[in-house]
Structure 1
Amino acid sequence: MAWLYRHLEGILAATPGNRLLAVDALRGITITAMILVNNPGSWSYMYWPLKHADWHGWTPTDLIFPFFIFIVGIAITLSFSAQRAKGKNSAQLLKQALVRTIKLLLLGWFLALFYYRVNDPNFSWLEDQLLSIRLPGVLQRIGLVYLATVLIVLNWRWRGQLIWCLGLLLGYWVLMTWVPYADNHGNTFQGLYQFGNSLAAWVDHQLLGPGHVYYSDAQPFSFDPEGLLSTLPAIATCLSGVLIGQYMQGQHSLTDKIRYLLGLGAILVIAGQSLSAVMPINKALWTPSFVVLSSGWACVSLALCLWLIDDRGYRRWCAPFIVFGANAIAFFMFAGVAGRLVIMLPWGEQSLKGAFYQTLLAPHLGNYIGSLAYGILFLLVSYILMYWMYRNHWFWKV
Structure 2
Amino acid sequence: MNQPLTSSRLASLDALRGFDMLMISGGGAFIHSLGGKTNISFIDAIAAQFHHPAWDGFTFYDFIFPLFLFMAGVSLAFSLKSALEKGVPQSELRKKLFKRMLILFFFGLLDKNAPLDIFDPAHIRYGTVLGRIGIATFLVALLYMNTNWKQQLYTAIGILVLYYAGLMLISVGSYGGGDLTFEGNLAGWVDRTFMPGRLKQKTYDELALSTQLPATCLTIFGCLIGQLLQTPSTSSFKLQRLMVFGGIGIATGLVWGVVFPVNKHLWSSSFILLTGGMACLMIALFYWLIDIRNYTRWAFFFKVIGMNSLVIYLACRFVNFGETSRLLFAGLYSHTTEKWHEVFNALGGLILVWLVLYVMYRHKIFVKV
Q: TM-score, normalised by structure 1?
A: 0.81
Aligned residues: 354
**CA 203–136 in structure 1, closer or farther in 2 if over 3 Å, else same:** same
Gaps of 5+ in 1: 1-15, 116-124, 217-221, 344-351
Runs of 4+ residues deviating >4 angstroms: 16-19, 37-46, 125-131, 352-363
Any idea what the Cα deviations from partners look like across 1:265-310, whole Å, max 9, x if unmatched? Answer: 1121111111111100011111110111101111111111111122
1:53 deviation in Å? 2.1
In structure 2, what is the equivalent of residue 228 of structure 1? 209
In structure 2, what is the equivalent of residue 173 of structure 1? 164
- More deviation in 44-53 or 301-310? 44-53
Q: Which residue type is aligned with residue 215 of structure 1?
A: Q
**CA 315–18 in structure 1, closer or farther in 2 if over 3 Å, else same:** farther
CA root-mean-square deviation = 2.9
SS in 2 for 1:81: helix
CA distance in 2, matches of 1:267, 1:284: 23
**CA 155–189 in structure 1, closer or farther in 2 if over 3 Å, else same:** same
Q: Is the 8 A contact 2:74 2:225 kept in 1?
A: yes
In structure 1, what is the equivalent of residue 182 of structure 2? 195
- More deviation in 42-51 or 76-85? 42-51
Which of these residues, 18, 40, 44, is aligned with residue 28 of structure 1? 18
User: Identity over the aligned pairs, expressed in percent?
Assistant: 28
SS in 2 for 1:241: helix
**CA 66–365 in structure 1, closer or farther in 2 if over 3 Å, else same:** farther
CA distance in 2, matches of 1:134, 1:356: 35
In structure 2, what is the equivalent of residue 61 of structure 1? 61
Any idea what the Cα deviations from partners look like across 1:90-112, whole Å, max 9, x if unmatched? Answer: 11111011000000010011122
Q: Is the 8 A contact 1:42 1:371 kept in 2?
A: no
Q: TM-score, normalised by structure 2?
A: 0.87
In structure 1, what is the equivalent of residue 39 of structure 2? none
In structure 2, what is the equivalent of residue 243 of structure 1? 224
Task: Confirm whether residue 83 of structure 1 aligns to residue 83 of structure 2.
Answer: yes
1:394 deviation in Å? 1.5
Q: Which residue type is aligned with residue 180 of structure 2?
A: Y
1:261 deviation in Å? 0.8
Task: Confirm whether residue 364 of structure 1 aligns to residue 336 of structure 2.
Answer: yes
Q: Is the 8 A contact 2:35 2:48 kept in 1?
A: no
Which of these residues, 141, 154, 158, is aligned with residue 145 of structure 2? 154
Any idea what the Cα deviations from partners look like across 1:27-77, whole Å, max 9, x if unmatched? Answer: 111111111257559989792121112321211111111100000000110
Q: Is the 8 A contact 1:37 1:50 kept in 2?
A: no
In structure 1, what is the equivalent of residue 123 of structure 2? 132
In structure 2, what is the equivalent of residue 10 of structure 1? none
Q: Is the 8 A contact 2:325 2:352 kept in 1?
A: no
**CA 132–342 in structure 1, closer or farther in 2 if over 3 Å, else same:** farther
Q: Is the 8 A contact 1:181 1:202 kept in 2?
A: yes
In structure 1, what is the equivalent of residue 347 of structure 2? 376
SS in 1 for 2:19: helix
SS in 1 for 2:291: helix
Gaps of 5+ in 2: 1-5, 37-46
Q: Which residue type is aligned with residue 125 of structure 2?
A: R
Which of these residues, 250, 255, 269, is aligned with residue 269 of structure 1? 250
Q: Is the 8 A contact 1:104 1:143 kept in 2?
A: yes
Task: Confirm whether residue 214 of structure 1 aligns to residue 215 of structure 2.
Answer: no
Q: Is the 8 A contact 1:41 1:374 kept in 2?
A: no
SS in 2 for 1:279: coil
